[in-house]
Structures are given as structure tokens and as C-alpha cells.
Amino acid sequence: MSNDLVRVIGGPQNYAWGKLGSNSSVARFAHASDPQNVIIDESLPYAEYWMGTHPKVPTTLSTNGEKLSDLISSNPEKYLSKSIMEKFNLKNSLPFLFKVLSIEKVLSIQSHPDKKLAEQLRLKDPEHYPDDNHKPEMAIAITDFEAFCGFKPLETIKDHLLNIKEFSSLIGDETTQIFINNPSKENLKLVFSKVMNSNDDDLIKYSNSLVLKAKENPSLYGETLSDLILRLNDQFPNDIGLFCGCLMLNHCILKTGEAMFLQACEPHAYISGDIIECMAASDNVIRSGFTPKFKDVETLISSLTYSTNNVDEQKLNPANFERGNGDAIFNLYDPPIDEFSVLQVKFDKKGKANCKGINGPSIIIVTEGNGIISNNDENKLDVFTGAVFFVAPNVELNIETNDSLVLYRAYCEA
């Protein structure tokens, strides 16, 4: 039995911020892929659906339950390609981790380490840092999606310090004055550090005042910022994220099909919506706010780049994909890193499409629709919403549907 194209089964993560039960696309996809073993619990949050070879949630073959990592190690040159094996020094795992996220409540204010820091953190604190890899990541909006992404422009932060008394009071007049006199990267780090190290009494006092003003006079901060402060305070009352997130990070809105890319050491937090997410194969998260999980504030403060961009600079526009043809639209999301690209294949009506071989491994998830996918006449597999497939390198695919169909294909090509 060739496994050039094989249906596989990923696994859900029930983090507290996920959408509940069948409201979550993660729950629906996990159940559709494995109806015997995944019975949706309507009271449970279904946050992430993992597809890949990360040991925390190993993907398995639907045919015999074998781990995908074991299939790859049985013949790494066939299932990774020689170039990927050599480039990433791999013999039984994929260089990327592919996910669906379904977000009800804000995720932690976080960043991910670069390679050097990841190795240090893994050595120092293996309990909280499960691997030694960096974790640059890309989010593609399946529904409208909002997130904090990167620091606001310096002038905007200066404006907030001048006009939001609670913000300047929390960090004190001296630090406020230093930043206002010279809004620089170094002074942004000073402001962020003062916020993150503020004492609980001040945090409660000034967050109560911030929330009250947002409620009584939304135009004071602007409708969007006031709404954000009230919504997130409902989720995490008096949390430091109201200052380090709402007042210091860009509020980014992605329409369906839009994408954003996050380099290592950039602050972010996803707020709401369903996304496809792809990242280098790692689960290293440095957290600091909006979370009951382990926070590593000093590591976060010391490792951020303190670069500041406006929101649109964070977005990643799709490009053409030359090797796709037929009745589908092919959108290639190709971030500036080696570990992954993600191809969206979209049929708006009945049709057929062909995709030439890619010289590396792929994982496909179908987020909408039904049809057939095949790599030859002997291997035609049913396509359904939530279905996941592993595709070996250099395998040409044919896809057909009688209606609309959307799938996302994560791949790595050296």
C-alpha cells in the first residue's frame, strides 16, 4: 500500500480560550476525521487542531493508526525528500506544525523565541519550553479574525501616554517623561518593562479607572479601543494585558483570506475568530498576560525586538501558484522563512483541478466541501470537511468537487 497520498488524523487541544463544543471548527474537524474516538463534548473548549509530527499530539494514519513520524522514519528520503532531510537534519519529523485555531477568548500576550534563545530556554527550563526550536508563525483568517500584532508606532504610544492618565500613572511620571521626550526603541523597552513590573495595587486601581472611562465615555479612547478594553476586561478582569496589549500593541483585523506573519520575538495575542496557522515545528511560547498559564515576564521583556510597525505592514498578501491549474483558485501564502508555505485551493463551484508535484512533504486540511482527491487511478480518496491528508514529495494531485470546496496545504520545499 503506497502512502504517497494518505488520509491522516490530527488531534485537538482543549485550551480554555477555545470555542465551546460544536461551535468550534476544531471540534467539528476533529470529529469528522475520527468519529469513533472524538465525541464532541458541548461543555468543552476546542482551541487547536494539531496536524504534524510534534510529539505532544502525534498525527496518525487513518488506515492503520501508525504514527506519521513512524511512516516517515521508515523511508525518510521518500517521505521528506533528500533535500529536506539534509536542510533540516530530519529523519522522522516534519519541519512545520500545521493547526486550525478556533478562538472564543483572547490568547496570552506572548512571543516565541528565536533559535538561539529556544536552545537556552530548553536547557534552563525544559518543563515550560518543550523543544529547542524557534517558532515563527503565520495566521490565515478562515473567518474574520482579530489579534494584537507587534508594538504600535512610537508616536501612537506617546499619544496614549499624553492622553490616557491611567497609562502614565501606572508607569510613573519619570518614565513617562523620558519616553515623551525621546520616543525610541530603548525607551519603549523601558515603558514595557515598567508596565510588566507594575504592582498589583496600582494595576487594579488604574485598570478600574481605565475600564470605567471606557464604559462611561467610549469616545475618550475611541470606540474600537474602548470596546476592546471592555471586552477583554470581561474575560480577564484587571489584567496587565489591558495595558501591555490594548494600549501598546497593534489591533489587527484580518478579513477571511487575509494573512499575517509573525517573526520570532515579536509580541502578539490572538483575540477572536477561526484561523489556519502554520509554524516551524515548535511549541515554545513566552507568555505574560491574559493567561492562567506559566508567565515568563523577564524573558519576554529581555527578548522582544521592540520594532514598531503599523498594522498593514504585518499583513502577508497571497501570491500566484504556478503549479496549480484547472477550475480552482490557487493562493500561495509564502512567508520569508524556510520551514513552510501554505497554499489555499478554492473551488466556487463544481470543477476539477490539478496540482503538480512539490519537492517536499505536505499536509492538507479541507475546511469546506466534499469531493475526491487522487494521485493516480488506483488511489482515489473521499474529501470531506475536516479531512486531513499527508502527501509525499513529488506527487501530482487531482482534485474534483460537485460544489464549492476549500482546502489548505502546508508544505516545505528546499
The residues binding ligand 9C2 (CB under 6 A) are: 15, 48, 107-108, 110, 137, 268, 270, 277, 279, 285, 287, 291, 293
Nearer to ligand 9C2, 247 or 269 (CB): 269
Q: How far is CA 309 from the centre of its chain?
A: 19
287 labelled catalytic = yes
Nearer to ligand 9C2, 60 or 288 (CB): 288
What's the min distance (Å) between Cβ of 287 and ligand 9C2?
6
In whole angstroms, give the CA distance from residue 213 to residue 208: 9
68-72 long-range contacts, Cβ below 8 Å, gap at least 24?
68/8, 68/94, 68/390, 69/93, 71/3, 71/390, 72/361
Nearer to ligand 9C2, 94 or 191 (CB): 94
What's the min distance (Å) between Cβ of 240 and ligand 9C2?
14
What's the min distance (Å) between Cβ of 223 and ligand 9C2?
26
Nearer to ligand 9C2, 15 or 46 (CB): 15
Q: Where are the beta strands (DSSP E) in 225-328?
A: 249-254, 259-262, 268-280, 286-289, 315-316, 324-326
User: With left for phi above 0 and alpha for psi between -120 and 50, is residue 15 left, alpha or beta?
Assistant: beta
Single out the catalytic residue among 7, 122, 287, 409.
287
Report yes or no: 183 and 126 within 8 Å, Cβ to Cβ.
Answer: no
What's the min distance (Å) between Cβ of 408 and ligand 9C2?
15
Q: Where are the alpha helices (DSSP H) in 125-235?
A: 154-163, 165-171, 173-181, 185-196, 200-216, 223-235
Please check if 13 is assigned to a binding site.
Answer: no
In the structure grid, which three cell numbers stand for residue 298, read together? 523577564
Nearer to ligand 9C2, 97 or 345 (CB): 97
Please check if 112 is assigned to a binding site.
Answer: yes
What's the min distance (Å) between Cβ of 193 and ligand 9C2?
21
In whole angstroms, give the CA distance from residue 270 to residue 411: 24
In the structure grid, which three cell numbers stand for residue 258, read together? 487575509
Please check if 31 is assigned to a binding site.
Answer: no
Please check if 314 is assigned to a binding site.
Answer: no
124's enclosing H/E stretch is helix 115-124
User: With left for phi above 0 and alpha for psi between -120 and 50, is residue 58 left, alpha or beta?
Assistant: beta
User: CB within 8 A of 358, min separation 6: which ones?
Assistant: 323, 391, 393, 394, 411, 413
Provide the annotated active-site residues. 287
Binding positions for Zn(2+) are 110, 112, 137, 268
